[in-house]
A and B are shown apart, each in its own frame.
Chain A
Amino acid sequence: MEGFLFWFCGSLMLLGSLMTVTQRSAVVSAVWLIFAFICAAGIFALLNASFLAVMQVLVYAGAIMVLFLFVIMMLQGPELEGERKLLKLPMWPAVAVPPMAIAVMIVGYLQNKGLTQWGPDAPESFGGPNHVAELLLGKYLLAFELISIVLLVALIGALAIGKDERKLPWK
């Protein structure tokens, strides 16, 4: 069962990401990205990360992607002229170098070490909201507070960038 779900979600997520990259229209890309993110939520669920799976759907596929769609809408979702031919043919080998390198590494690794088996089964509560909350507000409280400041700064920054400069409160 787990195997089927992994292959199902994994292949769909890969499909989603490939479509995101290859679709010419930004809107279509965005929709495919949402699809990929929902599949990622499935992967999280398989990894005993139920809270993450929920957050993936809520925050990523929900909030962030809505933001993307809004922006695409604001910019009239332009289908760019140069986007028609994604790349000139001679450039493909160059682009392929990094993926090839990573592939080489992976193949080498697998030949040497083989597959890594899971350790003991996860307890029932692992990855649930209680477990994550304990860590987040306990051991990682400082990081949690700091990341909230990062978010705040990003919020103010986005506001400052987006707003007409003359109308900013401190001007």
Chain B
Amino acid sequence: MESHTTETLLRWIVLVPLLGAAINGLLNRRLPRQVAGLLASAAVLISFALSVTVFLRLTGMPAEARFVSDIVTTWIGFGNLQVDLGFAMDPLSAVMSLVVTGVGFLIHIYSLGYMAHDKGSQRFFTYLNLFIFAMMTLVLGENLLMLFVGWEGVGLCSYLLISFWFTDEANAAAGKKAFIVNRIGDFGFLLGMFLIGATLLPHLGGGEGLLSFRVLQQHAGILAPAATAICLLLFVGATGKSAQIPLFVWLPDAMAGPTPVSALIHAATMVTAGVYMIARMNFLFVLTPTAMTVVATVGAVTALFAATIALTQNDIKKVLAYSTVSQLGYMMLACGVGAFSIAIFHVMTHAFFKALLFLGSGSVIHAMSDEQDMRVMGGLRKKLPLTFWTFIAGTLALAGIAPLAGFFSKDEILWNAWNSGNKVLWAIGFIAAGMTAFYMMRLVVLTFFGENRASAEVKSHIHESPATMTMPLVVLAVLSIAGGWVGIPHFLGGGAHFMTWLEPVFSQPAVVAELAHGAVAHGAEAAAHGAEAASHGAEHAGAHADTTMEWILAGASLAWGILGLLAGYFVYARKVSVAESFQKMGGGWPHKVLLNKYYVDEAYEGAIIRPMYRLSKTVLWKWVDVGLINGLLVEGSALVVAVVGSVMRLFQNGLVRFYAWSFSIGVAVFVLYLSFSG
């Protein structure tokens, strides 16, 4: 594993989108809109093609040696602290970069149609390219610091794109919210990195990249004592980026951005960065059952929590946003039970069908003259046939209906949760899966079935979207249907190629495996199972378990999904009265609570923002700012200058005679000095 195959194409994968962003950003309005869009799409296409090239090269290598790197230069060299500016691709980042550039390219194409009439479309494509650049830095970064650079970069692009239509104050506020909430997470990430540095640095010889993933993996033993703290801090970062409890609040608001952005950043790629990071640091996470338990629990709770909110939302994009939060919860759950490759599998399939759903909703919104409220939609099935059928494909995939993509990944997650020994995690995931099917059917029914409830004027404008928008839908629909087939598990007769492909990344070196077993001995029972499963490779854990149980669970989750779909259809298409009775259930307040998203925003407002505001206003502003900074530092220094100045001013009075007098005083002093110094 010491041999480093160099592959200079890697830097171009990252740099080409940056180049595209630079050209678009610098020329901006001087470029025609279509040219800007095509340029941006071409940049991503090139990036995708290069990714495929390197990917094919990786497949040609023996499984254990699948690692290419491209160290551009030493970024930080200071004593034995060394951080390289470099990129690396292993099976994990290969999957991620293919998904990012592939889905990214489709969404660029879609944006050509969607943003064709927007005045700022050059700016839009600049940001989009910049995002791809940052995301590829994140995915291909050779060390944790490069990952962090990309991490911050995608955060910035997310902010820029959420508040893309910045003239609307709500959009600007949503952008700020996303940025600030992410900053809280990033703070944890930074602390985690510092802790790694502080723990590892004294033990490193020269020439080893401090934060390089390979070096970290080799020295996992040194990091082991601090692993729990490090992993929990890193996980704080992941909760911010991947919208987990308690930092998920920004994602639903992020839907203020243009729909392609929601699809690309807030569903398919950026939000999965947290999952990617945890998977990347898997060798550290498996050492700490505590952190693994936290990750699994937070993931499961988020999955259920967000799914319940999604049941009641009326904004089509909000439903999808909460659905995204919920699915991210599944991925975290998978990470938490040690099934990292399954988590990445779900990242991939989710990228396909959630991007599809978002783009489909964009198509609907486009047709409805920018209306997002489902209550005034309906009956779009005939008017937007292509959108409808692709949307159905996405819905079934998300609901986990076999043999679509979502079934395999979600089922595997639930199976691993079951297998981890903590049946509560499985139960939560299972319930949330049914809810997912239910709210997705509600969305489909409200949007596509029944009579159209829009005003006559809007109705007359309803039309199928142009080919640039529907083509990506079709491609993504195909991927949503077939994308899961690369990872059909063994018990279904599949080869589980996807998991095999990722295995070199997640199979632990002997050192780590031993440490993990040590951790099991002391760790809590439930988490210990997860760590054990991880140390063996999750797939193997599944292999020697009872296949009958696996069949039963898969069947149950499939049936449960179908049941959810049918219930959704029945309630919202046939017996609307049932839906109404849902709203009135329990005196109406459960519905109200869900509709208001458990009042989380209000709670944050009351518990954090307002006290902070009050503190700022009374102490920070009145005392620290006005008193200390302004009074003492600013005005104080100004006062010193003013006093000195007013004294000096006496000498600068413009009177020539006074100058002459001062001059002669100087002469007098000099003369006296001479006469008395001997």
Binding site for B on A (CB under 8 A): 94-95, 97-98, 100-102, 104-105, 108-109
Give Cα distance in the complex from A102 to B669, angstroms: 10
* Residue-wise interface mask of B (634-678) relative to A, using a CB-CB cutoff of 8 A (1 in contact, 0 not): 000000000000000000000000000100110111011011100
User: Chain B residues near A97 (CB, 8 Å)?
Assistant: 664-665, 668
Give Cα distance in the complex from A104 to B668, angstroms: 10
* B669: nearest chain-A partner, CB-CB: A101
Given contact pairs A104-B675, A105-B672, A108-B676, a sample of 14 additional A-B residue pairs in the complex whose CB atoms are under 8 Å apart: A94-B661, A97-B665, A98-B667, A98-B668, A100-B668, A101-B667, A101-B671, A102-B668, A104-B672, A105-B671, A105-B674, A105-B675, A108-B675, A109-B675
B305 to chain A, nearest CB (A): 84
Give Cα distance in the complex from A94 to B664, angstroms: 10
B671 touches A95 (CB 8 A): no
User: Chain B residues near A108 (CB, 8 Å)?
Assistant: 675-676
User: Chain A residues near B671 (CB, 8 Å)?
Assistant: 101-102, 105
A–B pairs, 12, beta carbons within 8 Å: A97-B668, A98-B664, A100-B668, A101-B671, A101-B672, A102-B668, A102-B671, A104-B672, A105-B671, A105-B675, A108-B675, A109-B675
Task: Count chain A CB atoms within 10 A of each CB in B664, B667, B674 and give the residue with the most.
Answer: B664
Give Cα distance in the complex from A100 to B674, angstroms: 14
User: Chain A residues near B665 (CB, 8 Å)?
Assistant: 97-98
Task: Give the total of B residues in contact with A, Cβ under 8 Å.
Answer: 11
Give Cα distance in the complex from A32 to B668, angstroms: 27
A150 to chain B, nearest CB (A): 23
User: Chain B residues near A104 (CB, 8 Å)?
Assistant: 672, 675
Give Cα distance in the complex from A94 to B676, angstroms: 21
* A107: nearest chain-B partner, CB-CB: B675
User: Chain B residues near A98 (CB, 8 Å)?
Assistant: 664-665, 667-668
B662 to chain A, nearest CB (A): 10
User: Chain B residues near A101 (CB, 8 Å)?
Assistant: 667-669, 671-672
Give Cα distance in the complex from A94 to B667, angstroms: 14
A110 to chain B, nearest CB (A): 11
User: Chain B residues near A94 (CB, 8 Å)?
Assistant: 661
* B667: nearest chain-A partner, CB-CB: A98
B311 to chain A, nearest CB (A): 87
The 6 closest A-B pairs by CB, nearest first: A101-B668, A105-B675, A98-B664, A98-B668, A108-B675, A105-B671
A21 to chain B, nearest CB (A): 13
* B676: nearest chain-A partner, CB-CB: A108
Give Cα distance in the complex from A2 to B671, angstroms: 31
Give Cα distance in the complex from A97 to B674, angstroms: 16
User: Chain A residues near B669 (CB, 8 Å)?
Assistant: 101
Give Cα distance in the complex from A29 to B159, angstroms: 81
Considering only residues 386-401 of chain B, those with a C-beta below 8 Å from chain A are: none
* B675: nearest chain-A partner, CB-CB: A105
Give Cα distance in the complex from A98 to B660, angstroms: 11
* Residue-wise interface mask of B (398-430) relative to A, using a CB-CB cutoff of 8 A (1 in contact, 0 not): 000000000000000000000000000000000
Give Cα distance in the complex from A104 to B674, angstroms: 11
User: Chain A residues near B676 (CB, 8 Å)?
Assistant: 108
B644 to chain A, nearest CB (A): 23
Give Cα distance in the complex from A101 to B675, angstroms: 9
* B678: nearest chain-A partner, CB-CB: A112
Considering only residues 261-303 of chain B, those with a C-beta below 8 Å from chain A are: none
Give Cα distance in the complex from A38 to B676, angstroms: 36
Give Cα distance in the complex from A97 to B672, angstroms: 11
User: Chain A residues near B675 (CB, 8 Å)?
Assistant: 104-105, 108-109
Give Cα distance in the complex from A105 to B669, angstroms: 11
